[in-house]
Structure 1
Amino acid sequence: MDLFFQVVLPIMAVFGAGFLLQWIRILDVKSLAAVSIYIFLPALVFTNLYEANFNQGYTIIVIFAFFLLFAMIFFVKMFACIFKWRESVESGAILTTAFMNGGNYGVPVILFCVGEAAMPYAIFLMVLQTMIMNVFGVYYASRSTSGFFRACKTILKMPATYAAVIGIGLQALSINIPESVYSTLTMLSDAAIPLMMVILGMQLASITSLSFNWQVIFAAAGTRMILSPLLAFLFIWLVPGDPVINAVLVIVAAMPSAATTTMYAIEFDSEPDLVSSITLVTTLVSIVTVTVLLNVIT
């Protein structure tokens, strides 16, 4: 129970603060999210990757990200075939199982549980996951060629993508940044994680329409919250690596559905009520599952 009070409860309290704020006083979550995406998140990505010491572990992270993505898609398609889900339901289930909340939720859990040494790996995986979600998430939400090209354009519009490239490039070239500039970036970076956590709480409070198709919810939630971390354990058993990286991979794999998938579902009319329901259920279930997982890996 110590890990619950030391890690999970403080994180849930910050989520709860955002949830209560949005519930009591309705604010424009999109505007606040834009501030995070265009200012604070790029600073967080840049500073962590600029300070990173790149090694073989980052290659393992890339392999893992695609391994987990295709494994989740495979199992959802298997469930869709067994239960005869229509295409839109299958797409909604893929959105909520293949894409986890490795940023707003995963990064603070890793920070509190594993420590600062894990942050470059966690940020790198978060950026990679975001890029994958922008491509495959939009594709499965729209199920069209135009959706794929639109996804590519979305990646090019994301400041975090450029922050990652510049951070890695400057680090590789050993280019020093003036202290006055870097201190500003560090200040923004330090504020990014709590801001992202508050925004997640506000996003959950903004869910207005739900669809409790329990067959799909149980299948998707079980795949996201139980099968996904088990696959992560299988991966690190097959591909032994740094214990810190292993902890990052398992924790991120155990995260609930990404809240941003709801936006894709709404935009492309891919069962938005069902996607919102699965996102909410997996986030609530994670209070138990993440606590159990942290006790196992520590």
Structure 2
Amino acid sequence: MTIGVLLQKKFNFQLTPIVKLITYCFMPAAVFLNIYQAEFDYGLLGQLLLYLFLFTCSTILLGNFLSKLLNLKRQESAALKNSISLMNSGNYGLPVSQLIFSANPLGVSIQIIMIVFQNLLTYTYGLYNLVSASKSAVDILKAIFRLPIVHALLFGIIFQFFDIPLPNFALVPLEQLANAFFALALFLLGAQLAHINIKSFHSVIVWSILGRLVVGPVFAFLIIFILGIDGVMAQSLLIASSFPTSRNTATIALDNQVAPELHAQIVLYSTVLSGITVTIVIYVAMILF
């Protein structure tokens, strides 16, 4: 990420083609390959889906409660709600999970399910918060089904479930693309942060950071404890709950001109501070589970 910031300051890359390259090439390869190679315990899938439902509801309720408590304006309220419930599971979370669970594909596979779920949440709940009056349900569904990672996930599940072998001429390039994703994703994140200008500091940023980086992992731990989840699955879910605010919140806010600077600053601060908080959560997760 630091290399991304420094090189972006020096060379001022056009980031849109890199974003499209990651979205349409590198990330789908990583998603497909990790699902294809994972050893799933399908009995845990129902438990995982229940966790996702409870965790998402708790973060959404927290965002709505804080918005009403602070008596925020509509645009500020949308920024706070999205920043707490939408996490950077893609170009932040997946490389982190790959690093931690390199010897255990299940941990990475759980993170991939989180990525797909978070993307669905972004283009439904997140988009609704920003432009509920101007986007129809059909438009939102079209946006979801255009996501390449959704197609990659479906193909990965099909190939994994029916145990379809991949020949080396397909497997080797996919592995190379998947390996390239992790470095390029973090580089891109740093390059995107280099563009954010800090002109003022809004109190919403503080509440967003507390909700995303502190309260989020606390909610996750309580739900994991209540559901009796243990082992690698518990580690992966707790760590995934600690990731910073999704960069997509700033992207869709800019596209729809809903407090784009506030969204961008929340992404910047939460990403920088997550270097501390995510490290602590990883350490705690490894001790507890």
Partner amino acid, structure 2, of 1:31: P
SS class of match (1:115): coil
Establish whether residue 279 from structure 1 lines up as the match of residue 261 from structure 2: no
Within 5 Å, which residues of 2 pair with 1:31-42? Answer: 31-42=17-28
How far apart are the structure 2 equivalents of 1:86 and 1:109? 35
User: Which residues of 2 match residues 250-261 of structure 1 at below 5 A?
Assistant: 250-261=238-249
**Distance change (3 Å), C-alpha of 1:206 and 1:58:** farther
Do the aligned partners of 1:62 and 1:128 also contact (CA within 8 Å) in 2? no
Q: How does 1:213-228 map to 2 (within 5 A)?
A: 213-214=202-203, 216-228=204-216
Aligned to 1:68: 55
For 1:61, the aligned partner's letter is L
Corresponding residue for 1:212?
201
The answer to whether the 8 Å contact 1:107/1:193 transfers is yes
**Deviations 1:122-160, CA, capped at 9 Å, x for gaps:** 222212222222222212121236254322111111111
Cα RMSD (Å): 1.6
- 1:156 maps to which of 104, 120, 145: 145
CA separation of 1:233 and 1:159: change in aligned 2, threshold 3 A: same
Checking the alignment, whether the CA contact within 8 Å between 2:9 and 2:194 is kept in structure 1 is: yes
Contact 1:139 1:147 in 2 (8 A): no
Picking from 61, 84, 104, the partner of 2:71 is: 84
The percentage of counterpart residues that share the same residue type is: 27
CA distance in 2, matches of 1:258, 1:123: 15
Q: Does 1:293 pair with 2:265?
A: no
Q: Which residue of 2 aligns with 1:9?
A: none
| Residue 166 to residue 114, structure 1, CA distance change in 2 (3 Å) | closer
Structure 1 distance, partners of 2:198, 2:136, is: 25
Letter paired with 1:258: S
Number of aligned positions between the proteins: 283
Structure 2 distance, partners of 1:206, 1:103, is 20
Q: State the Cα distance separating 1:253 from its structure 2 match.
A: 0.7
TM normalised by structure 1 equals 0.90
| Structure 1 position 211, deviation (Å) | 4.4
Are 2:159 and 1:170 aligned? yes
Q: Which amino acid aligns with 1:196?
A: A
Output the TM-score relative to the length of structure 2.
Answer: 0.92
Match of 1:104 in 2: 91
* Conserved? CA contact 1:210–1:276, under 8 Å: no
Task: Out of 63-72 and 31-40, give the one that drifted further.
Answer: 63-72
1:53 corresponds to 2:39: yes
The partner residue of 2:251 within 263, 268, 277 is 263
Cα distance 1:77–1:47, how it changes in 2: closer, same or farther (>3 A)? same
Match of 1:244 among 228, 232, 239: 232
CA contact (8 A) 2:67 2:81 kept: no
C-alpha distance 72-200 of structure 1, shift in aligned 2 (>3 A): same
Check if 1:184 corresponds to 2:173. yes
Distance across 1 between alignment mates of 2:136 and 2:273 = 32
Give the drift of 1:250.
0.9
- Contact kept in structure 1, 2:27 and 2:181, CA below 8 Å: yes
In 2, Cα distance between the equivalents of 1:112 and 1:189?
13
Q: Which residue of 2 aligns with 1:10?
A: none
Runs ≥4 in structure 1, deviation > 6 angstroms? Answer: none
* Counterpart-to-counterpart distance in 2, 1:52 and 1:33: 27
Asked if the contact 1:72/1:228 (under 8 Å) is kept, the reply is yes
Q: CA deviation at 1:202?
A: 1.0
